[in-house]
Amino acid sequence: MNFKNHFEELKRRNVFKAALAYLVVSWVIVQVASIVFPAFKATPGALRTLILVLVIGFPVWLIFAWVYEVTPDGLKKTKAVARNESITGETSKKFNQIILGALIVAIVLLAVNVYGTYTRNGPEVSDTKPDKSENIPAIDSESDQEKSVAVLAFADMSPEKDQEYFSDGISEEILNYLAKNPELSVISRTSSFSFKGKDTDIREIGKKLNANYVLEGSVRKADSTLRITAQLIHVDDGAHLWSETYDRKMDDIFSIQDEIAEAVTKNLEASLLGKEIAEVDTEAYNKYLQAKHLWNQYTQESLENADKLINESIEIDDNYAPAWLMLAIIKDSRRNMNFINRESAAKDIDKAIDKAISLDPEYAEAYAFAGRIALRNINYTKAEINFKKALELAPRNPDVLILVSQLPTLDIKVRIRIVKKAIELDPLEYINYYRLSYLYFLDEQYEKALKTQEKYMLYYPNSMGDYAGKAEILAQLGKEREALEALEKEKDEFLKAYGNAMVTMILYAGEKTDQTIETFKTKYGQQDPYMVAQMYAWQNKKDKAFEWLGKAYKVESVNLVQIMDDPYMKNLKNDRRWEEFVEKIGFPQKSNLEINLD
């Protein structure tokens, strides 16, 4: 039989239509299985097995279609059926119906899938072209989050209800340990702890945090005796996968944390890291937790007491890396609030960070904080080295990502993507919307800056400087009345004066603007000369702008880190003095830091 006759015979026996029908029906079966299997907790291997069976069945089906024919008397070998008795024409029509029906089902399934993806993730947003809406990064699909777990703040069940710092600390230590496991997606502390003290259904918590599992528990502490309960819950059906109660002495606290972490990873079919939770003297650990609790309150008195407690902790046991990092963080907070001498604080901070890293060379948060401090010291090279190390150790840690996003040598759009990724990983840390708004402002995406600023202010309506910042954005959008109304709501005197100068400068010109700038310069110019330089640069008064930039350099203004992306500095960039000044402050070329946000 020549090729043409063979081809015609394949058509006559409906082999081509049989093949098409098989492929279309197989595709529908796979799509239905991908929806149904997870509902019955089938493993990913079940779907792979089904696909493999269908693939193997395809050539078998083709051979079957060639060898056999459907007749009124049942299946017969094609060779045994006379041409005048063959009903292949009717069989062909049936195959057409099967193919058409399967295609309709396939189209419906595809439409449902596309709609579901759109409603979960929203339309895709480009970072390079402004659009009419702001979309915070899409949440990963359930398959990507198969081993996503949220560790809720353990409840304080002590008789006096005075062990909140301890119960928070226990749950946070477990969270931090689990977060180091690359096989788990662990929701950050800020988001997980946002449900503290609230009677919220587990399913709702899982939905808001994009977590498939929740670890919750309680701590009862009396003198040196502990009772810790913990339970791992599957969000979809509320099933308790594991629960345990531990009655131990305080000396066993670290072994309990290890046991809980091991139970969680075992139930989620993930392997534990080789490294155990770091141990420290129990009294030192208790003081460390107290210091951390007080630091979070962020008042002058709480920071002072936190400083005292963390030093006492280190005196008892100086081999615990987190305590040294906590010391650096507390000192930095007190320095930022001008509660302590800045020069002596700087030395203490550097010493504490170095000690933390020497004790734990894989401590990602310590490297990230070292990068932040290097930025404050206008040492961009050192900052990048530390950020790179932190990302290698913890690429999905939102706290690390937020610190890395402050690196001004990164492209501004990359910085925006980093913050959006941090929001995806830590959806209830609303201060990140403020950080995102700031980056949008630097990138002159003012509509997006306004939208994210307003979202932040829903949760932090009375934060210092927020209304002044909003007024500045509104002024850039030409919304005069709204900008002035926002300014009136600003309570901080210094930031209100700065905001007033910027809004006046943006919206108006002439004597009114000059007077406003002169007033700010006289009262606050020495406090931060960089801000005065911004005003003169925007007005294109280059001599005065460079004069005040020189003053900003002398006082090591922290605001110099934004100079390359600062929209107010655009008028200076075509002046020969610009490159000279950039070189003087040691601002390097754009960073080559590789950041994987997948």
Kindly tell me if the per-residue pLDDT of 499 is higher than 90. Answer: yes
Which residues are CB-neighbours of 589 under 8 A, at least 6 positions away? 409
Mean pLDDT, rounded, for 509-518: 88
Amino acid at 389: K
What does pTM read for this prediction?
0.65
Indicate the residue among 242, 277, 312 that finishes a domain. Answer: 277
Which residues are CB-neighbours of 542 under 8 A, at least 6 positions away? 536, 571, 572, 575, 577
Q: Give percent of the chain with pLDDT exceeding 90.
A: 38
105-142 pLDDT per residue, tens? 777 766 655 544 444 334 333 333 333 334 443 333 34
User: pLDDT-derived band of residue 507, with 50, 70 and 90 as boundaries?
Assistant: very high
Kindly tell me if the per-residue pLDDT of 42 is higher than 70. Answer: no
Rounded (10°) angle between helices 44-67 and 15-39: 160
400-412 pLDDT per residue, tens? 999 999 999 999 9
Q: Give percent of the chain with pLDDT exceeding 70.
A: 82
Mean pLDDT, rounded, for 281-298: 88
Q: From its phi and psi, is residue 393 left (phi > 0), alpha (psi between -120 and 50) or beta?
A: alpha
Q: What's the rounded Cα separation, in Å, for the pair 351 and 331?
A: 11
- Residue 490's pLDDT is 93
E strand intervals along 204-263: 213-222, 225-234, 240-249
Higher pLDDT, 40 or 277: 277
- Residue 134's pLDDT is 43
**Same domain (yes/no): 289, 244:** no
456-469 pLDDT per residue, tens? 998 888 777 889 99
Which residues are CB-neighbours of 263 under 8 A, at least 6 positions away? 230, 232, 242, 244
CATH number of domain containing 303: 1.25.40
Indicate the residue among 277, 307, 340 that finishes a domain. Answer: 277
Backbone angles phi, psi at 343, to 5 degrees: -70, -45
**Same domain (yes/no): 116, 159:** no
Whether 498 maps to a domain, the answer reads no
Looking up tokens 């060379």 gives: 361
Whether 361 maps to a domain, the answer reads no
Mean pLDDT, rounded, for 334-357: 91
**Same domain (yes/no): 115, 210:** no
Can you give the length of the chain in residues? 598
- Cα angle at 391 between 387 and 392, to 5 degrees? 120
**Same domain (yes/no): 103, 21:** yes
Whether 404 maps to a domain, the answer reads no
Kindly tell me if the per-residue pLDDT of 280 is higher than 60. Answer: yes
Domain count, the chain: 3
Task: Please say whether the beta carbons of 212 and 236 come within 8 A.
Answer: yes
Task: Please say whether the beta carbons of 389 and 367 come within 8 A.
Answer: yes
Total Cβ atoms within 10 A of residue 437: 27
User: pLDDT-derived band of residue 11, with 50, 70 and 90 as boundaries?
Assistant: low
User: pLDDT-derived band of residue 450, with 50, 70 and 90 as boundaries?
Assistant: very high
Over the Cα atoms of the chain, what is R_g? 32
**Same domain (yes/no): 20, 89:** yes
3-state class of 464 per DSSP? coil
Q: Is 29 exposed, middle or buried (0-12, 13-18, 19+ CB in 10 A)?
A: middle
Q: What's the rounded Cα separation, in Å, for the pair 595 and 598?
A: 9
Task: Please say whether the beta carbons of 452 and 134 come within 8 A.
Answer: yes
**Same domain (yes/no): 267, 293:** no
- Residue 542's pLDDT is 96
- Residue 84's pLDDT is 57
Q: Is 161 exposed, middle or buried (0-12, 13-18, 19+ CB in 10 A)?
A: exposed
CB-side neighbour CA atoms (13 Å) of 2: 1
- Residue 548's pLDDT is 97
Whether 467 maps to a domain, the answer reads no
User: pLDDT-derived band of residue 75, with 50, 70 and 90 as boundaries?
Assistant: low
- Residue 38's pLDDT is 55
Q: How far is CA 291 from CA 169, 298, 360, 571, in A?
A: 10, 11, 20, 47
Amino acid at 67: V
Total Cβ atoms within 10 A of residue 172: 18
**Same domain (yes/no): 330, 250:** no
Task: For residue 181, give its domain range.
Answer: 148-277
User: pLDDT-derived band of residue 475, with 50, 70 and 90 as boundaries?
Assistant: very high
Kindly tell me if the per-residue pLDDT of 89 is higher than 70. Answer: no
DSSP-assigned beta bridge partners for residue 148: 185
- Residue 530's pLDDT is 96
- Residue 239's pLDDT is 82
- What integer best gives the mean pLDDT of the chain? 82
DSSP-assigned beta bridge partners for residue 248: 226
Whether 578 maps to a domain, the answer reads no
Q: Is 421 exposed, middle or buried (0-12, 13-18, 19+ CB in 10 A)?
A: buried
**Same domain (yes/no): 223, 340:** no
Whether 143 maps to a domain, the answer reads no
- Residue 516's pLDDT is 92
Encoding tokens for residue 327? 């010391």
**Same domain (yes/no): 186, 105:** no
**Same domain (yes/no): 26, 61:** yes
**Same domain (yes/no): 217, 265:** yes
Rounded (10°) angle between helices 542-554 and 576-584: 0
Encoding tokens for residue 559? 């605001």
Indicate the residue among 228, 243, 277 that finishes a domain. Answer: 277
Q: Nearest-CA neighbor of 174 among 284, 258, 235?
A: 258
- Residue 412's pLDDT is 94
DSSP-assigned beta bridge partners for residue 242: 232
Which residues are CB-neighbours of 329 under 8 A, at least 6 positions away? 295, 369
First-residue to last-residue Cα distance in the chain: 55
Task: Fill in the DSSP letter of residue 126.
Answer: -
Encoding tokens for residue 383? 């900052």
544-572 pLDDT per residue, tens? 999 999 999 998 888 898 999 999 999 99
Q: Nearest-CA neighbor of 190 among 357, 432, 355?
A: 432
Total Cβ atoms within 10 A of residue 21: 22
Encoding tokens for residue 265? 């990873």
358-411 pLDDT per residue, tens? 999 999 999 999 999 998 888 888 999 999 999 999 888 888 999 999 999 999
415-427 pLDDT per residue, tens? 999 999 999 888 8
- Residue 132's pLDDT is 34
CATH number of domain containing 248: 3.40.50.10070
Q: What's the rounded Cα separation, in Å, for the pair 105 and 56?
A: 23
Kindly tell me if the per-residue pLDDT of 485 is higher than 90. Answer: yes
Work out the widest C-alpha separation in the chain, in whole angstroms. 107
3-state class of 205 per DSSP? helix
Q: Is 216 exposed, middle or buried (0-12, 13-18, 19+ CB in 10 A)?
A: buried
Burial 301-312 (b: 16+ CB within 10 A, else e): ebbebbbebbee
User: pLDDT-derived band of residue 83, with 50, 70 and 90 as boundaries?
Assistant: low
DSSP-assigned beta bridge partners for residue 240: 233
Whether 202 maps to a domain, the answer reads yes
**Same domain (yes/no): 94, 160:** no
Whether 23 maps to a domain, the answer reads yes
424-439 pLDDT per residue, tens? 888 888 889 999 999 9
